[in-house]
Structure 1
Amino acid sequence: MCNACLIEDVKRSMLSRRALFTGAAATTAAAVTAGLTTARPALAQSAGRVVDLTHAYDSDFPTFDGNPGILYEPAVKFEDSGYQLWKLTIWEHTGTHIDAPLHFAADGRSVAELPPESLVCPLCVIDLKAKAAEDANAMVEPEDIEAWISANGEIPAGACVAMNSGWADKVATPAFRTNAEGTFAFPGFSKAATDLLADAGAACIGVDTMSLDPGDSADFAVHYSWLPSGRYGIEGLAGLDGVPAKGATIFVGAPKHKLGTGGPARVMAVV
Structure 2
Amino acid sequence: MVLKYCLLLFTTLQFIQARKVVDLTHTYDKDVPKYPLGWLGLENFTYFKMDTLAAQFIDEMWIAFKKIEYYEHQGTHIDAPIHFGSGRQTLEEIPPERLIGPGVVIDIRNKVTNNSDYAVTVQDILDHEDEYERIPPNAIVSLNSGWAQKYPNANLIFGTENTSDPTTFHFPGWSVEACEMLLQERQVSVLGVDTPSTDPAQPPIYPCHIYLQTNNVPLLEYIANLDSIPPRGTTIVLGAPKVRGGTGGPTRIFALIDDDQEQEITSNSASRNFMSAIFAFMYLNVFRFC
TM-score range, shorter chain: 0.7 to 0.9
Listed one character per residue, the Cα deviations across residues 151-170 of structure 1 (whole Å, up to 9, x for unaligned) are 11111100011000000000
Q: In 2, distance between residues paired with 1:80 and 1:227?
A: 48
Return the TM-score normalized by structure 2. 0.75
Q: Which 4+ runs in 1 deviate beyond 6 A?
A: none
> Which residue identity is paired with 2:171?
F
Q: In 2, distance between residues paired with 1:122 and 1:198?
A: 15
* C-alpha deviation, 1:178, in angstroms: 2.9
Q: In 2, distance between residues paired with 1:170 and 1:221?
A: 25
Residue matched to 2:223: 237
Q: Which consecutive unaligned segments of at least 5 residues does structure 1 have? A: 1-43
* C-alpha deviation, 1:219, in angstroms: 2.1
> Which residue identity is paired with 1:186?
F
Matches within 5 A, 1:238-257: 238-257=224-243
* C-alpha deviation, 1:94, in angstroms: 1.3
* C-alpha deviation, 1:97, in angstroms: 0.4
Residue matched to 2:198: 212
* C-alpha deviation, 1:172, in angstroms: 2.9
> Which residue identity is paired with 1:59?
K
Residue matched to 1:125: 105
Listed one character per residue, the Cα deviations across residues 98-153 of structure 1 (whole Å, up to 9, x for unaligned) are 01111011210011111111111101100011111211111111111010111111
Residue matched to 1:261: 247
Q: In 2, distance between residues paired with 1:80 and 1:130?
A: 57
> Which residue identity is paired with 2:174?
F
* C-alpha RMSD of matched pairs (Å): 2.0
The answer on 1:58 being equivalent to 2:29 is yes
* C-alpha deviation, 1:61, in angstroms: 0.9
Contact 1:98–1:262 (8 Å) recurs in 2: yes
SS state of the match for residue 83, structure 1? strand
The answer on 1:140 being equivalent to 2:120 is yes
The answer on 1:203 being equivalent to 2:189 is yes
Calculate percent identity across the aligned residue pairs: 36
Listed one character per residue, the Cα deviations across residues 50-91 of structure 1 (whole Å, up to 9, x for unaligned) are 010000021111021287632111111326884221110011
Residue matched to 1:226: 212
Residue matched to 2:156: 175
Residue matched to 1:185: 170
SS state of the match for residue 73, structure 2? coil
Listed one character per residue, the Cα deviations across residues 182-240 of structure 1 (whole Å, up to 9, x for unaligned) are 52111111101100101110111100011000111332000110111111110010010
Q: In 2, distance between residues paired with 1:103 and 1:162?
A: 19
Contact 1:126–1:162 (8 Å) recurs in 2: yes
SS state of the match for residue 58, structure 1? coil
Contact 2:23–2:254 (8 Å) recurs in 1: yes
Contact 1:69–1:95 (8 Å) recurs in 2: no
Q: In 2, distance between residues paired with 1:68 and 1:132?
A: 33
Residue matched to 2:267: none
Return the TM-score normalized by structure 1. 0.80
Q: Please say which of residues 171-180 and 240-249 is displaced more in the overlay.
A: 171-180
Listed one character per residue, the Cα deviations across residues 7-51 of structure 1 (whole Å, up to 9, x for unaligned) are xxxxxxxxxxxxxxxxxxxxxxxxxxxxxxxxxxxxx99722001
Q: Which consecutive unaligned segments of at least 5 residues does structure 2 have? A: 1-14, 38-44, 258-290
The answer on 1:163 being equivalent to 2:143 is yes
> Which residue identity is paired with 1:175?
L
> Residues 181 and 71 from structure 1, CA distance in 2 versus in 1: closer, same or farther, beyond 3 angstroms?
closer
